[in-house]
Each structure stands twice: as C-alpha cells, then as structure tokens.
C-alpha cells in the first residue's frame, strides 16, 4: 500500500505526476477538498443538524478543506451556522469549511423566473459554485420534456401552420420554407415521423445544459468573486465507444475558455463519470480514475503550463464511500472527492473527510 498524504506537493518527473509529503500549515502545500453535494435533499434545519454531526465527528480537523452544497433554500441557514469563529470555538475547526451552491445562472438579474444569479449567491456568503453537474448537463430533457415540445413541432398540423405564418414574413429564410414544404409532402411522411421519433428519444436521453451555457456560468461566477467546481464526465456510451478523452477535452476546453491564469489555480475540476454515479452504480475502477485524472492534468498543462496544472485540485465523484476513499486518495492525480449519497450520512461523510487518519 502507498502512503496516504493529507497534505502534499505535486511534481512531474519522468512524465509522471507524483505526490510528495508536505507539512500541514505550509501555504504552498495542496489541501484535499472533500465536498458533499446534497442534491435535492434536506430542509434547511435538517442540513444544519447534519453539518453539526459531521463537525462533531471531525473535531480539530484543519488539514483538509470541506465543502457543503445544500439546495438553494438551505444556503443562508447553513451560511449562518458555519461562521468561522463559531466553528473554531465549538469544534476546533479552522477556516476550512466552504459553502457551495449546486448551480448558478449566467445573467445577473432580470426576467429569468426560477433562476439564481452568482451575485445573489455571493451576497449570502456562498464561496464556490458547482457548475456543469451531469444532472444538469444530461438530465434536463428527461425531466422537463424538451422532447415533447420538439416532437409537437414536427407534426403536420404545426408545420402547416408554421409554413403559412413564415411565408407571410419577408425575412423568412427560403431554405427553412423549402425544408418544411419537403417534410409536408405526403411522399415524405415517413421521414417526418422518423425524425420526430429520433429527436424525441435523443432529447429525452441527452438534452441539458450545453458546454456554451456552462462556459457562461463559469464566467459569471468568477466575475462575482465565486470560485468554481467545474464538473465533467462521460456517459457509458461514450466510454464504450472509447470517446471519453475526446468528450472530456471538449467539455473542459469550452468551459475554461476565457478563464485567465490567475483565476485558474483556485479552480477545482470534478471528474464524475455518469455511469459511476448514484445508488446501484459502482465507482469507477482505480486505474480508470488515475488515467482520466492524468489526462485532465496534462490537458491543463497544455492550456496553463505545468505550475498551474500541478496546483489545480481535481476531485473524483461517483460512489465515493468510507471504504474506498483511501484508495482513491492514494492516486497521484486525485485531490479530493465530490460525494453524493454518502454525504447525507454524518458517520460516512466524516469518515471520508478523515481518510487516512486513525478512527
């Protein structure tokens, strides 16, 4: 078994990233980040009660960073509770507890019913925001029914009506009119039905936030002084088709476009393979975690140079539990975890935060 470091430096020698031990308290050392993503769980006071039990089990733990991401409704109450002087007095914990939001919107205010902006989050004490979680990248179509609205638009009635409407407008594009006429031709009714079925299934399966929306969210968060946990990850299909690296590279390049070097060393990336997330799924095998984290770090090296690549914390997420956290933290490229289910259980999450320490 390798040694588990709770604080470390990272170096690249002979084309390989390695951790070397550092003294706790050295400002240039890397501190692991253990984050609980509560997703849509817990009313505000239940969140505070859970956090209190976790702190009680993590008394005097100062050497790693902990983050808590309650739903929007729980942020203010938890912000009041994790006031640093109180945590220090009550639990001997330092300034290593961070309040996380699960999402943000890219506009700062306006007619965007239901959305929350980054400056609103900053104003209530949020430190960092999770952006690009797969629940939002891939699952929105399924829940919000984008597919049925597209399928409706591919019905004969709708297209006939639309053709009439567009023909009366001067600026309508001839190509669009021609396509609609083509689809409405009785000879092509199979094409129309097939297209509707295909798009409905496709959007159900995959519609969600685009890479471009995620890029705008990252920019909005940073502009408002919030740090970011940027999620990326492939679905099972991409893994089976050996497209994992291509996909991750696209997700990260687009999301990070416009993020300047000084902002980058505080950025946290979370690698969450979709097939490894949630109840019933298995965590990714260690070799695959190691391989992807190295891939991401090498990509960061191409984009920002070796020094920044060595510092950026890359978390793993997907069925992290007390019994696998140590093996995951032994990997040279892993700097913490983004934890779903196990972060809702005080004993489990405390064990995850205390990885490598005696019980």
Where helices occur in the chain by DSSP H, the ranges are 44-57, 75-81, 84-91, 118-123, 134-137, 140-144, 146-153, 156-167, 174-184, 189-206, 211-223, 236-240, 244-256, 261-264, 286-304, 306-311, 325-330, 346-353
Residue nearest to ligand 13P (CB): 340
Binding residues for ligand 13P, total number by CB under 6 A: 14
| Inter-residue contact 321 to 342 (CB < 8 Å) | yes
Nearer to ligand 13P, 283 or 304 (CB): 283
- Give me the active site residues, please: 133, 272
Nearer to ligand 13P, 219 or 345 (CB): 345
Give the residue from 67, 45, 57 showing the smallest Cα distance to 91: 57
The residues in 303-322 that bind ligand 13P, with binding defined as CB under 6 A, are: 317-320
Least Å distance, CB 284 to ligand 13P, is 10
Nearer to ligand 13P, 238 or 277 (CB): 277
State how beta strands 128-131 and 313-317 pair: unpaired
The residues in 240-299 that bind ligand 13P, with binding defined as CB under 6 A, are: 272, 277-278
Classify residue 305 as left (phi > 0), alpha (psi -120 to 50) or beta: left
Nearer to ligand 13P, 333 or 341 (CB): 341
Coil, strand, or helix at residue 345?
A: coil
Give the residue from 41, 29, 106 showing the smallest Cα distance to 68: 41
Instruction: Please give the Cα distance from 117 to 225 (Å, whole number).
Output: 12
Name the segment binding ligand 13P (CB under 6 A); options: 139-147, 152-160, 200-208, 335-343.
Answer: 335-343
Least Å distance, CB 40 to ligand 13P, is 12
Nearer to ligand 13P, 29 or 318 (CB): 318
Residues 269, 258, 225, 220: is their CA dihedral positive or negative? negative
Least Å distance, CB 340 to ligand 13P, is 2
Nearer to ligand 13P, 19 or 133 (CB): 133
200, two tokens: 């409905």
Name the segment binding ligand 13P (CB under 6 A); options: 73-81, 170-178, 207-215, 337-345.
Answer: 337-345
The residues in 123-142 that bind ligand 13P, with binding defined as CB under 6 A, are: 133
Instruction: Please give the Cα distance from 147 to 218 (Å, whole number).
Output: 27
336 is a contact residue toward ligand 13P (CB under 6 A): no
Burial 326-350 (b: 16+ CB within 10 A, else e): bbbbbbbbbbbbbbbbbbbbbebbb
67 is a contact residue toward ligand 13P (CB under 6 A): no
228 is a contact residue toward ligand 13P (CB under 6 A): no
Give the residue from 124, 80, 83 showing the smallest Cα distance to 104: 124
154 is a contact residue toward ligand 13P (CB under 6 A): no
344, two tokens: 């809702």
Least Å distance, CB 286 to ligand 13P, is 16
Least Å distance, CB 339 to ligand 13P, is 5
Instruction: Please give the Cα distance from 334 to 352 (Å, whole number).
Output: 14
The residues in 3-62 that bind ligand 13P, with binding defined as CB under 6 A, are: 37
The residues in 82-111 that bind ligand 13P, with binding defined as CB under 6 A, are: none
Among 226, 338, 350, 353, binds ligand 13P (CB under 6 A): 338
Nearer to ligand 13P, 139 or 147 (CB): 139
Give me the residues that bind ligand 13P (CB under 6 A), please.
37, 133, 272, 277-278, 317-320, 338-342
């Amino acid at each position: 078994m390798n040694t588990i470091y709770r604080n470390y430096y990272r170096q690249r020698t002979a084309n390989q990233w390695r951790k070397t031990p550092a003294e706790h308290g050295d400002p240039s050392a890397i501190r692991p980040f253990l984050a609980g993503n509560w997703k849509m769980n817990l009313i505000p006071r239940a969140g505070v009660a859970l956090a209190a039990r976790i702190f009680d089990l993590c008394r005097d733990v100062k050497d790693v960073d902990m983050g808590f991401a309650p739903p929007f409704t729980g942020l203010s109450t938890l912000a009041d509770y994790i006031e640093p002087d109180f945590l220090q007095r009550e639990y001997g914990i330092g300034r290593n507890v961070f309040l996380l939001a699960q999402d943000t919107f890219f506009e700062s205010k306006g007619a965007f019913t239901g959305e929350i902006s980054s400056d609103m989050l900053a104003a209530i004490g949020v430190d960092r925001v999770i952006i690009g979680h797969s629940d939002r990248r891939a699952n929105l179509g399924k829940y919000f029914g984008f597919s049925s609205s597209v399928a409706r638009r591919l019905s004969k009635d709708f297209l006939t009506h639309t053709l009439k409407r567009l023909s009366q407008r001067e600026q309508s594009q001839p190509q669009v009119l021609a396509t609609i006429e083509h689809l409405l031709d009785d000879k092509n009714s199979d094409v129309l039905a097939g297209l509707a079925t295909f798009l409905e299934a496709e959007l159900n399966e995959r519609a969600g936030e685009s890479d471009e929306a995620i890029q705008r969210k990252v920019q909005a968060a940073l502009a408002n002084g919030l740090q970011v946990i940027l999620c990326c990850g492939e679905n099972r299909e991409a893994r089976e088709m050996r497209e994992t690296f291509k996909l991750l590279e696209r997700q990260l390049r687009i999301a990070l476009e416009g993020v300047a070097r000084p902002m980058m060393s505080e950025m946290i990336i979370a690698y969450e393979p979709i097939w490894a997330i949630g109840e019933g799924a298995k965590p990714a095998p260690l070799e695959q975690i190691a391989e992807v984290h190295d891939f991401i770090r090498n990509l960061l090296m191409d984009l920002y140079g070796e020094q920044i690549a060595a510092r950026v914390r890359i978390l793993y997420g997907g069925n992290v539990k007390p019994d696998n956290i140590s093996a995951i933290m032994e990997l040279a490229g892993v700097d913490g975890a983004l934890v779903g289910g196990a972060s809702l259980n005080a004993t489990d999450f405390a064990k995850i935060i205390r990885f490598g320490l005696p019980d």
